[in-house]
Amino acid sequence: MTYPKRLIEVDLPIRRISDHARREKSIRHGHISTLHIWWARRPLASCRAVICAALWPDPADELCPEAFRQVARVWMGKWSKEYLAKVSPESYTRFISIQKTPAKLDDNLELRVALLDFIADFANWDNSTVKAYLDTSLALTLAAHEALGGAPGTRPLVVDPFAGGGSIPLEALRVGADAFASDLNPIPVLLNKVVLEYIPKYGQRLADEVRKWGAWIKQEAEKELAEFYPKDPDGATPIAYLWARTIQCEGPGCGAEVPLIRSLWLAKKPNRSVALQLVVNQSSFRQGCRNPASKDGNLPVGNPPESNTVETGKLPSMALDSAIPVRNDGNLNSAGLIYNDECRSVETIKRVDFKIIVKLHDGWVNQDDPQEKIANPKFDGTVKRGSATCPCCGYTTPVARVRVQLKARRGGANDARLMCVVSTRTNETGRFYRQPIEDDLKPIHKSENALRQKCKTHISPISFLPDEKLDIRGIRHTWGMIYGQETWTDHFSHRQLLSLTTITRLVQEVAKRENGDANLHAAVTTCLALNVGKLADLANSLCPWEPVAECPRHLFSRQAIPFTWDFGEGVAIGDSSGSWQIMIDRFATILAGIGSDWCQSSPYLASATDHPLPDDSANAIVTDPPYYDAVPYAYLFASKTTASWEAILKAVIDAGWIITGSWPIDTEMETRVSAQGQARLASSSNSHFGDYPLK
């Protein structure tokens, strides 16, 4: 059989599809991309348009079956009459013209352009779940399939052997085709199982069950974790703790503890500005010594003030102003005080403290004392290009020495310095910032002890904590290895690990509970497990504080695990950013918002080089193969150029196929700073391709 050309071989409304694809990048609520992190998801707009244009024949081609033309005329006629209010302004003129002169659709060229107008409008995110668009695309897809030899009542099969985040197979189902999705990595397979199977099968019921069990997990987690996230004495509720890793200044005669901070901004909005300021404190004492008579020789005696004495073994650098830690090496403690086997005179203790300042209409003031004006505040931190400058003496510890110090402490997450606590108050709007108090550290020590106890009592073939070693091959993408983070556990603080392991166990308890519909319960458990992954993305020590949004920023903002000097710790059992409740609410919104008015599909864990489908079973292969080793799973398949694409295209040509069309759809936001000057922004979307008239 000789086949007619498909629409994608003759024309595409590139500019309009590209506009919708770029706009989709900024859509968050209800979009598949927020279901769980995965890289390089193709925009749904371009996938939807490409699949429609690849499945539907060109009505102007002389080989196009008349049966398809007839169905297309009927539906385009409906859009000129019944659905005219739903078309875009760009398409309105054409369809109103068809309404006035229905015979225009007898012209196959006019019918082609009407179909392309429909595809352009259907690419709009706002139309992705509109029944009129879904019904039309289904009718056209089935008509094309049967007219081209498909068995009546069946659907064309679209295959994506590199399914990834699931954009292509989802859109294949949406336009009325069947989809076969496979991937070599189990994470995208799990994601596709939710998108392609569970959502179409259960719809709103799945969203309701996820909300129900998510609420139960939060309730149980609060019972176990509330003591580790206490409220403030005044009743305020902490929602984030801001920490800074530290080093010891290596400047001559200094030895002060230097907090590693990239920026001092806390809130940076047009109508609200709050920041930290570094304050250098120095105190003089006559003597300090190590007590040779004490049992462990670690407690200082002499003249240091009582408020500056702490017990040993208390997570050294997490001490506050009122609790200066004592080192166990007989040298400098974090405040610069010398303790040796003999008492000796001590001239000064150098310490970096913090002050919170706010901007009023007439300038910056001290938050705790508004009468104190702050002239020329500084907002840069202490770190630049990996080197750290001491606020006390001005000495800059080079990046190599910073790495050495942090490497000795496995990245320094568990002895970081608490800089600030962010809270909310009942019946008051906004975030409130305060300096830490001693009671903020007590739960930290308790969480460490609780975590150690759980590790000791854990009995399972699987370790209680993710203590697997990091692969050195991923050092370009997992930067913490440079700073001593050797296992996945090192990316988290003790309290974060305690929260994550508690919620993980509760998800496992949900999985063991009896439920009337075992398949639905498995779907719910899968969704809850994915939310643990989403929580870990925000509950680790590599999440910087975002002063514009006033919340921690999630880890995977790029295709790497970067190392951060300071980080924001959210409250897992709270109701703000970084909490379990926020994850569940957003996840359920996605489940209900993606849409489910189409058939379901089951994804497979399979290699593209050993595909489970038999030959000649696919009507279309639509895919986006991995072509760059941007994430660690690419150890299995890595190419720093477009060589993988070229290999695939060469194989297609060698097999006797003919390439009849190539459309450079522009899917990237032109304002992306990281993409400036790179090939990813190179596009021909401003050029004219094919016969489609520019608007």
164 plus 60 within the same structural domain? yes
Residue 204 lies in a domain: no
Whole-angstrom distance, CA of residue 637 vs CA of residue 647: 13
Residue 381 lies in a domain: yes
Return all residues near 38 (Cβ < 8 A) that are at least 6 apart.
164, 165, 187, 188, 191
451 plus 553 within the same structural domain? yes
Distances (CA, A) of 249 to 225, 393, 595: 36, 9, 57
Tokens of 648: 């695939």
pLDDT, tens digit, 9 for 90 and up, residues 504-525: 999 999 999 877 899 999 999 9
Residue 551 lies in a domain: yes
The set of long-range contacts for 503-506, using a CB threshold of 8 Å and a minimum separation of 24, is: 503/217, 503/221, 503/532, 503/535, 503/572, 503/580, 504/532, 506/217, 506/220, 506/221
Residue 232 lies in a domain: no
Return all residues near 1 (Cβ < 8 A) that are at least 6 apart.
149
Whole-angstrom distance, CA of residue 606 vs CA of residue 188: 11
18 plus 165 within the same structural domain? yes
Host domain of residue 481: 210-227+443-593
pLDDT at 686: 43
Q: What is the DSSP letter of 197?
A: I
pLDDT at 667: 57
- Write the single-letter amino acid at 614: P
500 plus 573 within the same structural domain? yes
Residue that terminates a domain, selected from 593, 612, 628: 593
Domain count, the chain: 3
pLDDT, tens digit, 9 for 90 and up, residues 126-153: 999 999 999 999 999 999 999 999 999 9
170 plus 223 within the same structural domain? no
449 plus 584 within the same structural domain? yes
Low-confidence ranges of the chain (pLDDT < 70): 1, 28-30, 283-348, 626-645, 663-695
pLDDT, tens digit, 9 for 90 and up, residues 279-303: 998 765 444 443 333 334 333 333 3
Residue 419 lies in a domain: no
Residue 355 lies in a domain: yes
563 plus 662 within the same structural domain? no
Residue 58 lies in a domain: yes
Query: What single string gives the DSSP state of each residue in 171-189?
Result: HHHHTT-EEEEEESSHHHH
Coil vs helix vs strand at 142: helix
How long a stretch of residues is the chain? 695
Q: What is the DSSP letter of 470?
A: P
319 plus 397 within the same structural domain? yes
489 plus 555 within the same structural domain? yes
pLDDT at 316: 34
Whole-angstrom distance, CA of residue 448 vs CA of residue 458: 15
Whole-angstrom distance, CA of residue 141 vs CA of residue 54: 10
Residue that terminates a domain, selected from 355, 386, 410: 410
